[in-house]
Amino acid sequence: MVFKKIANWFRKSESQLPFELPIDEEEIFKKSKVILQQLDEYITASELESENISIQLDNVLAEQDTIRNKIKDLNKPDSWHERNLLLKLDRLVVHSNNLRQRIELFSQNIKVYLNLMSKVEDIRVMRLNGLETDRIQNIWLEFQHSFETYKEKIATEAVTETKESVTAGETEERLLKLRQQVFDLPQEVVVKQDTPLATTSQIIRPSLERLIINKKLDPFEAEDSTNLRKDLEHEWNSSANDVLNRLEEA
Partner 1 sequence: MRDIWKRDTMFVEEGSVVIVTDVDQPALAKYIGSIWKVKNVMASYHPATALIYHQQFGEIVLPIRCLEVIPPEDSPLSHDEFVRITKGYPRDAHHTCCFELVKETGKVRGFDTRNSYYFIKIANGNSGWFPLHCLIPLSFRGEKFYYPDQEVLLDGVRVKISKIRKTRFGHGQLLYINGSWIPSTEVKSAS
DSSP 18: S
Element holding 249 (H helix, E strand): helix 225-249
Comparison of 121 and 172: residue with beta carbon closer to partner 1: 121
Residue 122: Cβ within 10 Å count: 14
Comparison of 115 and 171: residue with beta carbon closer to partner 1: 115
Comparison of 3 and 220: residue with beta carbon closer to partner 1: 3
Q: How far is the CB of 18 from partner 1 (least distance, A)?
A: 8
Comparison of 13 and 38: residue with beta carbon closer to partner 1: 38
CA distance 101 to 148: 21
Q: How far is the CB of 115 from partner 1 (least distance, A)?
A: 14
CA distance 48 to 41: 11
Measured at the alpha carbon of residue 72, what is the angle toward residues 71 and 74, in degrees to the nearest 5?
65
Question: Which residues contact partner 1 by CB under 8 A?
Answer: 1, 4-5, 33-34, 36-45, 47-49, 117
CA distance 177 to 167: 16
Q: How far is the CB of 20 from partner 1 (least distance, A)?
A: 13
Comparison of 114 and 247: residue with beta carbon closer to partner 1: 114
Comparison of 1 and 166: residue with beta carbon closer to partner 1: 1
Q: How far is the CB of 127 from partner 1 (least distance, A)?
A: 17
Q: How far is the CB of 4 from partner 1 (least distance, A)?
A: 8
Q: How far is the CB of 136 from partner 1 (least distance, A)?
A: 21
